[in-house]
Amino acid sequence: MTISLYRTAPRPRRVAVLSVHTSPLEQPGTGDAGGMNVYITQTAIEMARSGVSVEVFTRATSSEQPPVAELAPGVIVRHIPAGPFEPLERHELPAQLCAFTSGVLRTEAFHEPGYYDLIHSHYWISGQVGWLARDRWGVPLVHTAHTLAKVKNAALAEGDKPEPRTRVIGEQQVVAEADRLVVNTDVEADQLIRLYDADPGSVRTVSPGVDLHTFRPGSKAAARQALDLPADAVVLAFVGRIQPLKAPDVLLNAAARLLRRHPWLRRRLVVLIAGGPSGTAMGQPTALRELASSLGIAELTRFLPPQSGQRLVQVYRAADVVAVPSYNESFGLVALEAQACGTPVVAAEVGGLPVAVDHGVSGILVPSHSADDWAGALDLVALSPHRRAQLATGALRHAERFSWKRTTDALLDAYTEATSAFQGAALGVAV
């Protein structure tokens, strides 16, 4: 007999969010902080607004961090001591999972049983902790991978290191144990099912959103003035972590190729790179500057540290085009933020970017990473005012389809389903 409990299972009152390797309090754009941080922050805030309390567990990286910090009303961040008080490389974190898990379980032990209604883990390392906490607390586990080792290894950038087999095995275990697997796109859902043998019935597609109150159109002239950019410049921008996976070098090579096509452009071109080193680029923070110099565009390239708030909005507004040349993206929040500011995007046709960018309507998708192909796409948008204006209009309309409230409502529905499935399994009935 099949019994549906979805309509009767209540939404959770309190959710434990696990983010071992990066804190939502960190600045996106450097180290391990990126789109996942934004995702956790925005969905937690929206959940709190709907009456769901959220507690985020992350590894303490400094002795000066308070044990508990408020991210927003109804959202707290718990810093769990696990290993040295310093940032660790991701491959070093599995050795600290016992200590981190102990800290998470100890926190719950100070409360009455049933204090947390559900666990949502982000990234495979957190999923390992979530799997153990799920069994100890008797609550469902929802997991979001954000990136997958098998997918990353199939599309490695030159000079990047493949993900280790320990991660592949760890991801496989979490996929098998989670009550619901939340993915950003249908492409990612297919990857989980095809590459990790995920149960199709446990996978739910929930697209990320964009903060439409913060990221919105504004004066390009004012943004350029704030960033000390010439009013008549042709600005190509990259926003994100400086690492091979994100491929900012593709933009630099394309910009150099664009100059060969249009020598007159040297008087006006500005390539704006906003972000900090991450991953395998941590040991080579000057490599991108050296590449710009070797290409003869050092004087045209401006580097900014990771930007946030209105400073980030100004970068998007100041640009004629925002480039997202990544070798893999589970979604592409930068692309969505830029479009919400009315700026067209040229992006690699990989991962979730074909969802984040509506090809030919809000931007252009490039099917390769060759300098010629990218120069052609940038030429089509940056140097054609009429085409750029059309895409800018399409970018705004496309971005308006996404919001963090919509994302969070869908997440809460997935939580309700996970709770129903978990309760049904405990009762021995199918749901």
Q: Which residues are annotated as a binding site?
A: 21, 27-28, 32-37, 90, 123, 147, 167, 241, 246, 307, 316-317, 319, 329, 337, 343
Say how far apart CA 25 and CA 58 lie, in whole Å. 10
Q: Which two tokens stand for residue 246?
A: 């994100």
**Dihedral over Cα of 39, 45, 47, 49: its sign:** negative
Q: Name 370's bridge partners.
A: none
For residue 158, CA distances in Å to 95, 167, 205, 218, 247 come to 28, 21, 31, 38, 10
Residues of each annotated binding site for Mg(2+): 316-317, 319, 343
Separation of first and last alpha carbons in the chain: 9
Say how far apart CA 363 and CA 338 lie, in whole Å. 10
- Sequence-ordered list of residues with C-beta below 8 angstroms from that of 373, at least 6 positions apart, any chain: 366, 367
Helix axes 165-177 and 124-137, enclosed angle (nearest 10):
40
Residues of each annotated binding site for UDP-N-acetyl-alpha-D-glucosamine: 27-28, 35, 241, 246, 307, 329, 337
* Per-residue buried b or exposed e for 343-361, using 16+ beta carbons within 10 Å of the residue's own CB: bbbbbbebbbbbbbbbeee
Residues of each annotated binding site for 1D-myo-inositol 3-phosphate: 21, 32-37, 90, 123, 147, 167
CA angle 151, 343, 243 (to 5 degrees): 35
Q: Name 119's bridge partners.
A: 16, 141
Q: Name 274's bridge partners.
A: 239, 304
